[in-house]
Amino acid sequence: MCLGGGNPAVYSMNVITIDNLHFRWQDQPRDLLHIPHFSLAKGEKAFLKGPSGSGKSSLLSLLTGISEPQSGEITLLGTQVTGMKPAQRDHFRADNLGYIFQMFNLLPYLSVVDNVLLPCRFSRQRRQSIQGDIADEAKRLLDALHLPTSCLTRPVTQLSIGQQQRVAAARALIGKPPLLIADEPTSALDHDNREAFIELLMHECDNAETSLLFVSHDHTLERLFDRSVDLTQLNQAVQEAV
Ligand SMILES: Nc1ncnc2c1ncn2[C@@H]1O[C@H](COP(=O)(O)OP(=O)(O)O)[C@@H](O)[C@H]1O
Ligand SMILES: [Mg+2]
């Protein structure tokens, strides 16, 4: 794997570096995103805001390697991920990225604990960063995120949205990934619950030394974060298209 740019030491302080990124969805006439530069420093907790349809989820799909940009570079943890072969990218993602999906994407045929342990199946690095029993660590995280113990034996389909969200967060955090990305995970919760959940999530990020990129259209949450980034400001494609 190659290091991004001319100075690896500079990049290694960032968990995310984006340079001159251009992206359009197939069959679209023009770019949805043109991001000249963006970075997230190690340990930073950033809030990425933007109205619905502004391209937040599209940007996350580029960061996670689900989509590929037409041009530009994405460097994660000092490793340039743009241009990686798919298998290499999947491996890198499993080792280094925790992801909370908007709809949580829990697997209905797995128990709560097995859902949380899923990343450990795909990544030896995540498994090995856990000291002791991995199921105990899953339960510790679920407890730290305030999932009631009675939920552990229930099918995930019977959990409330708030409870599913805690399971999804524990799954993203297991094995201490250096980067956690969350795509509007609180949009179904009321305001007090949103803030309480974000505080628990941040506490666990601090424990694991995990940097956080949290995406939401609800700008009332931005004061909880180290930094707030407005995608409509960051993205030059919209202005170019006008
Ligand atoms: N898989 C896709 N294929 C084509 N266009 C898409 C796809 N996903 C999203 N888009 C389009 O990209 C734009 C931005 O969407 P999205 O990234 O989901 O915004 P946000 O997450 O900010 O609501 C929208 O116009 C949407 O229709
Ligand atoms: Mg979205």
Distances (CA, A) of 20 to 44, 71, 107, 166, 236: 22, 7, 36, 35, 10
Share of the chain above pLDDT 70, in %: 93
Ligand 2 geometric centre to CA of 214 (Å): 11
- Ligand 1 atom nearest 60 alpha carbon: 17
- pLDDT tens for each residue of 188-212: 777 778 888 999 999 999 999 999 9
Output the pLDDT for position 104.
Answer: 83
When pLDDT is averaged across residues 74-100 and rounded to a whole number, the result is 94
Tokens of 226: 């180290």
Does the model's pTM come out above 0.75? yes
Output the pLDDT for position 241.
Answer: 55
Ligand 1 geometric centre to CA of 54 (Å): 8
Residue 197's nearest CA partner among 155, 167, 154 is 167
- pLDDT tens for each residue of 19-32: 999 999 998 999 99
Pocket test for ligand 1, best of 21, 57, 60 (most atoms within 8 A of CB): 57
CATH of 8-240, picked from 3.30.420.40, 3.40.50.300, 3.90.79.10, 3.20.140.10, is 3.40.50.300
**Helical ranges in 97-236 per DSSP H:** 112-122, 124-128, 134-144, 161-173, 191-208, 231-234
Ligand 1 geometric centre to CA of 84 (Å): 23
How does strand 97-100 pair with strand 79-80?
Answer: unpaired
- pLDDT tens for each residue of 208-224: 999 999 999 888 899 99
Cα torsion angle, 54, 57, 60, 64, sign: negative
Q: Which ligand is nearest to the CA of 24?
A: 1
